[in-house]
Structure formats: C-alpha cells, structure tokens
Chain A
C-alpha cells in the first residue's frame, strides 16, 4: 500500500505536517440518499486506497450555508481535496472509484484495483 504514494510524500512533506497526507472535505446538503451514497463511497475509497492516512470533514451546507462560497461549492455532493495542494474538486456521489482516484491523484493500488 505504501509504494503508491512515493511521489507524493516529498511534495506534501515540504508544505504540511507529514502526519496527514490527505485532507478532504465532503460537502453535502442534508441527509439525502445521494449524500449518504457519497459518504459511503468516500469511506470505502479512503479505507481501500489511502490507508488511514487521511482526514475527512463533512460539511452540511443546510446547516452552514455560508461555507459554500469559500470552496466555490456549486454541485452537491462535492469532495474537496485541500491537502495536498493544489486543491481539487470531485463532484458527484463518488460511485466511479477510478475517477475519484484520478481526481484525488491517487494511483490505484495493485491488488485492490484491477490487478
């Protein structure tokens, strides 16, 4: 699981504390089926591909609408990768794992993915 992230290690180590490699925020709007779906997908992907080296914050815009502007949230659900830089956005319910990994710039780990 580790060799996949070699390129990223140096990069993030320079800019941030080495402890957390991935800082993610998931924006949802209430407990809609799509939000729950996205949350479930995110959990699965993180566990399978990020090896626990991540942090996820879930923001419900219905409760905190003022937070939407900061990350330029438009589509719901949106997953924002704030670390490592640059920020990236992944919209949708995250059901397409491959695309999520591409979006997060995470290489699929052999064995868990196609190999």
Chain B
C-alpha cells in the first residue's frame, strides 16, 4: 500500500488532440496497431509520430517501409512540412525500404525472417532509436507464400520490439470483417487505433477511434481528424462537459437599441446567442454589427459565412454604413467563407477549431448555422453545434449564430439548438398594408431581465435601429402604418396642447376677474371702516362736552356727590323707569 502505483508510461505522439484522447500518448515501449482502409492516413500518422518524436521529444525513429520507397515517402510528406531528408542527415531518422518481389524469389525449404530483424536492429542501434514505424508488414504476405512462417515470425517480431523497448507503430490495412487483412491485431494487442474515412453526402470525414488501450483509460468516441498542412489534428471535442466558467461581464450587441432591451448592457460575455428569422430579416446585419462593435473595442473576431464571400459581406455591410474592411486590414477580423457542401460536417468543425485556435477571437459569428443542415442529419448538425457552443464557451469567446427558418414555422426549425444557446432573438417579417416590415423580439435571454417588447427592426444607412411598434386593432403597426400612426399622434398632441393652452387662458382670465372684484370690495370695506371711525370719534367728543357741561352745572348749583347718581339716571337708563 505504501508503494505508489505507477501508471503505464506513455510516449506522447505530439499529434494535436491525440495525446488528450489517449491521456498522454501511445504505450511506451509497446507496439501500437493503426488500422484503416486505403487512404485513411495510416502512413502519415506513423510518419508524424516519428517526426514529432524526433523534433519535439528527442526520440529518434526508424521507419521500415514495405510499400513506398524512402524517396517517395519523403516526397509525399514534404507537403505537410516534414523534411525527412534533413532528419536522416541529422541522424534523427532512418528509413529502410523493404520490398519483396514474388517473381524474383523462389522458396526452397525452411527459412525465417532473421534478415528483417537484423536490419531493424541495425537501424535502431545506428541512431539509438526510440520509435519504430512498420508500414505495413502485411505487404510481406504478398511476397512470401509460407504464411505459417510469416505469422510466427511476425509474432516474434512484435515480441522482439517489446523486448527492445521501442515504441512502435504498425500499420495494417482494413480487412473484410477483420481489423486488418491478415489479422495483425492478433499479435499487437496493447493498443489499437482505428482510422476511418467515410463519405457522407458526397463529403468525406475522417475519424479516429481508440479501439483498445491495454492498461489505460482513453476516450472511446469516434473523433474527427483532419490532415492539412500542419499534419494530423484530432478533435476531442465531443465530451467537453459543462464546466465552463460563467462571466458576469457584458458585451454589447453592437445595436444600442437592442442593448437597451437586454438590461441596457447587451449579452453576457462568453455566452452563445442565436438569431433566427426567415429570409431577409437582417440576421447577417445583426451579426456584422456584433463583429463591428467588437473590433471597435479592439477585440478579435471571426465571421464564418456559409453564404457570402468576404468581399460580398464587406460590400453589403457598407450599405448600412459599416466598414468591415478596415478591421480585416487591421487583422482584427477574419472572415472565413466556405460553402457548406465543400466539406463534411466534421471537416467544418475541424477548420473552425483550427481558426479559433490560431486567431483566438473574442467574438465568433457563424452565419448561418442552418446552412450546415444539408451536410448531415439534424442530429449530426445539432451535435456539431453543441460542440461549437461548448468549445466557444470553454475558450471564453462569445458565439453568435444565425439560423434561417421558414416564415410559417418560426420556432421549431431552429435546429432544436435553441435550448443550447443562452439568448435567442427572433426576427420576423410582417406583411401588412402592402408592405413587408421586420420585427424583433427577445425570446429568451438567460440570466437577465430582458424586455418583453416587440420592436420594429429598421435597416438604415447608419445601421440597425429598433423602433417601438404600435398596437392597433389589427395587430401591431409597423412601417408606414406606424409612420401614419405617429403622425396622428403628433397631430393629436398638438391639438391637446392647444386645448390646454385655451383652458389655461380662460381660467387665468376668470381668476383675474375675481381678483379685481376682491380689490373693489376691499376698497369698499376700507371706506366703511373709515366712516365708522369718524362717526365714533364725533360721538365721543359730544359726550365729553356734555359731561363737562353737566359738571359745570352741578358745581354751579352746589350739589353733593350722592345726588349725582340720581341725576345721571334719566340720562343713562331711560328704558328702566
């Protein structure tokens, strides 16, 4: 228990993607069988294994070729950038061409293939090779008639390779009902990789599958692979899983009005957006806006177009006031155009993968993804889109897909990918009063409170604009109906304004009248008050005079104070008497 378990040592192939599937490479020190039908890339696979071993991992290699001469081989792989002659000169590679011509050989009794062993051994020892390619020993079956000897010698050979400790690749042609024509898989059983190329709808897709890997786990699916000027690349994109990070950062859609519908900030960065609509609803323009805004921010973008050439897109977008050419020249934008029927689905995926890896875009637009449909069944396309979506999410790029759907079937034909995407914007045409107008609405946008409104979508010479639509008795009003309605509204507004002004004036007038009345009454009141005070003053003066007179009279008569009260009585209280 204290001993740490050592996993199977592996020899990395350096082939893009394969080392990920096999979790590190081929079993080190053991033979691996690569089988497949003619032209599926077996030899190339083996050569790449040797070349990368020599260049990247400092493991020299020996190539025993039974079919092609060393010169042919070197020529064939030169187009992939492999310089075999240079490698041979620098003692990184030995190529030995072994051939048997049955017509010049007579078999007379017992023999073995010791010569092959000796040659192989000499080649391995001459450069201390760590890797060996045998391509393909099955050719021996054509040259030698004693298959019993051949079989036992091949068995011995593979055992010998193991003892020698070299990591070997043995290729074999696919047979009827068996992996290889002569049953090499019986002898090489540590690791078996199957290459395949299939024609589907006139397009070829290459696939690779690790059939068997003794002592190691491995990806079991069929993985598409590509042979191009960089050699082989395998795409382990089937099972990326849902582990991508979720960004809270936002990215503008390039259309301010649309951003406003999405909480004012646009999409989530790293999310995937689907725009569906029937023909001519402006899907491409929306994609172009998105790309354009990314480039304005200095981000990188890729536009995959399945319908238009780069030139055409640039010209067309100029008509809505967008200059994409400058971004292309600046290297920020890459427009990749290819007919969907040019390759198989997988090939498209691989090409996209490649571009995404080399260009590292922040924004990717695929226009339209529905064009891929004829390239495979709906299931295939859905799987493809799933892979693209997953891959984009993992790389943190924001994906923008457009899809064409039929006018009368707006939601179902979205390739059933709508559940894969985070935001879904629907564009539709509406035909009313002899016009065709475009409508836009946000069907879903995960993780944000998006607008539920339908907007009219306008393509102006300054880009896309969104307008409020009017709800009329016959549905929403768009186009000239909307314009007429807007004019109506404007008129009504003016009228209302005038009415308000009139009423204001009337009220002000009556108010003033009242105020005037108030002023008059106040004046009257003041007059009355004056009158009152003056009257009271006179009365008081009279009273004083009268009292003084009475006093004077009393004094003159010599009356006492007591009598005063009596004398007062008739003056003050007349009513009581």
Contact = CB atoms under 8 A, between A and B. Distances in A.
Given A75-B144, A93-B110, A93-B111, A62 B105 contact: no
A74 to B, nearest CB: 5
B99 A68 contact: no
Contact of A61 (B100, B104, B118): B118
B113 interface: yes
Contacts of A86: 104
A69 interface: yes
Contacts of B111: 34, 75-78, 91-93
B110 A72 contact: no
Interface string B86-102: 00000000001011100
B108 A72 contact: no
Contact of B115 (A34, A73, A100): A73
- Say whether chain B's binding surface is mostly helix, strand, loop, or mixed: mixed
Contacts of A74: 98, 100, 113, 115-116, 119, 140
Contacts of B106: 88-91, 99-100, 102-103
Contacts of B531: none
Nearest to B105: A89
Given A29-B114, A78-B115, A96 B121 contact: no
B106 to A, nearest CB: 3
Interface in B107-145: 107-116, 118-119, 121-122, 140, 144
A65 B98 CA distance: 14
A27 interface: yes
Interface in A59-107: 61-62, 65-66, 68-69, 72-78, 86-96, 99-100, 102-103
A61 B98 CA distance: 16
A27 to B, nearest CB: 7
A66 B123 CA distance: 9
B113 A75 contact: yes
B107 A61 contact: no
A75 B107 CA distance: 10
Contacts of B109: 37-38, 41, 92-96
Contacts of B144: 75, 91
Given A74-B100, A89-B106, A94-B108, A62 B115 contact: no
Interface residues of B, number: 23
A75 B115 contact: yes
Contact of A92 (B96, B108, B140): B108
A62 B125 CA distance: 13
Contact of B108 (A69, A76, A93): A93
14 contacts: A27-B115, A69-B119, A72-B100, A74-B100, A75-B114, A78-B111, A89-B106, A90-B105, A91-B108, A92-B107, A93-B110, A93-B111, A96-B108, A99-B108
A90 B108 contact: yes
By Cβ-Cβ distance, the 3 closest A-B pairs, closest first, are A103-B106, A92-B109, A76-B114
Contact of B121 (A65, A76, A88, A99): A65
Contacts of A72: 98-100
Contacts of B105: 88-91
Given A62-B118, A74-B98, A87-B104, 10 more contacts: A29-B115, A37-B109, A75-B111, A75-B114, A75-B144, A76-B115, A77-B111, A78-B111, A91-B105, A103-B106
Contacts of A76: 111-115, 118
A62 B118 CA distance: 7
A94 B106 CA distance: 10
A34 B107 contact: no
Contact of A65 (B100, B107, B112, B122): B122
A87 B103 CA distance: 11
Interface string B360-371: 000000000000
Interface of A: 27, 29, 34, 37-38, 41, 61-62, 65-66, 68-69, 72-78, 86-96, 99-100, 102-103
A68 B108 contact: no
Contacts of B116: 74
A68 B119 contact: yes
A91 to B, nearest CB: 5
A76 B99 CA distance: 15
Interface string B204-226: 00000000000000000000000
A27 B99 CA distance: 17
Contacts of A95: 108-110
A27 B96 CA distance: 18
Nearest to B114: A76
B118 A29 contact: yes
Contacts of A34: 110-112
Contacts of A103: 106, 108
Contacts of B99: 72
A66 B119 CA distance: 7
Contacts of A91: 105-108, 111, 144
Contacts of A99: 106-108
A3 to B, nearest CB: 24
Contacts of A37: 109
A94 B110 CA distance: 8
A38 B109 CA distance: 9
Contacts of A100: 106, 108
A62 B114 CA distance: 10
Contacts of A102: 106
Contacts of B118: 29, 61-62, 65, 68, 76
Contacts of B104: 86-89
A66 B99 CA distance: 16
A96 B109 CA distance: 6
Contacts of A88: 104-106
A64 to B, nearest CB: 10
A29 B111 CA distance: 11
B119 A65 contact: yes
A110 B363 CA distance: 89
Given A69-B96, A72-B98, A61 B114 contact: yes
Contacts of A38: 109
Nearest to A92: B109
